[in-house]
Amino acid sequence: MMNYHSYAPLRRALAANAAFSLITGSVLAIASASVAPLVSVNASPWIFAVIGAGLLLFGVFVAWLANRPAPDPLLALAVSIGDLTWVIGTAILLAVANGTLKLVGMAAMSLVAVCVLGFAIGQLRGISRLYVKDGDSRFRVCLDIHSRGSEMAIWRNLANLGAISRFAPSLASSSLRSGTEPAVGCIRDCVDKGGRSWSERCTSIDHEKRTLVMEFLAKEPGFPFPFVEMSGGWSVREGARGTVVKVWWEGTPKFPLLNALILPLLSWQARRQFPAVVSAMSGESNMVNQRPLHPVIAPC
């Protein structure tokens, strides 16, 4: 179940950003003729009116996002990137056009940039906190996929560990190391269609509860993912509307400062790829007149 309380810091940062953008945009759009000469003798009022209109549209979008119970982290990341672009653009403008700008204009632009930078940092921290599991070093991401396929069929194919590439379109090959069976301790080697390779060790497989946990061998040479240590797992159970397949990952990223970028992208990639995997495992792809699977992804 989604923990909406974990979204509170992100929603607060987005709400503050929206309010500031709407106020600033209104001032620029309504009073552009008065603002322009305060910034520069060469400034045209219509430029500030256009900027104000853009800020109003931006503010409306951010307000809509902030008022959602669970704002999409990828959209929040896009807003933050937009904020950082504004800050960088302001710095460049102040550097190249300081000879034509008035002191009050430079001060106002700097103050706005500082505020926008604060919103971006708050939003990025809010995004990162969504995925925190233990303290500030580990993350956890979950994906729930609702399927009309058979619980037993999905688990049977999932438990056949070496055959995952038969169901995952992104994988070129997968196999268990020689002499091993699908059981605790076996190692699965995977290669994706981009040529990246990695290995996973099974640490838990429960056929009765239909749960599986794999540990990525992150310390092996050439491990392609930006994590110091990482594990993932599956569970298959009957739900109110059919079979529910949960896929999850947790671990410690190599670059904690990039959590707000890496983790939403990991979630987005999972949302794109894993419904097709579950569909193939269940045989849904061969059913006629069936709607696509409905993935629900969230920090957990």
pLDDT tens per residue across span 119-151 = 999 999 999 988 887 666 788 888 888 888 889
Note the pLDDT of residue 291: 38
- pLDDT of residue 295 exceeding 80, the answer is no
> Among residues 85, 89, 83, 90, which one has the least CA distance to residue 109?
90
Question: Which position has the token pair 């552009």?
Answer: 32
CATH of domain 139-299: 3.30.530.20
* Contact of 248 with 215, CB cutoff 8 Å: no
> Among residues 117, 127, 63, which one has the least CA distance to residue 260?
127
pLDDT tens per residue across span 54-65 = 999 999 999 999
In the chain, which segments carry CATH 3.30.530.20?
139-299
Note the pLDDT of residue 284: 60
Q: What is the DSSP string of 36-94?
A: HHHHBTT--HHHHHHHHHHHHHHHHHHHHHHTSSS--HHHHHHHHHHHHHHHHHHHHHH
**Mean pLDDT within 153-168:** 94
Note the pLDDT of residue 299: 45
**pTM, rounded to two decimals:** 0.82
d(CA 297, CA 266): 11
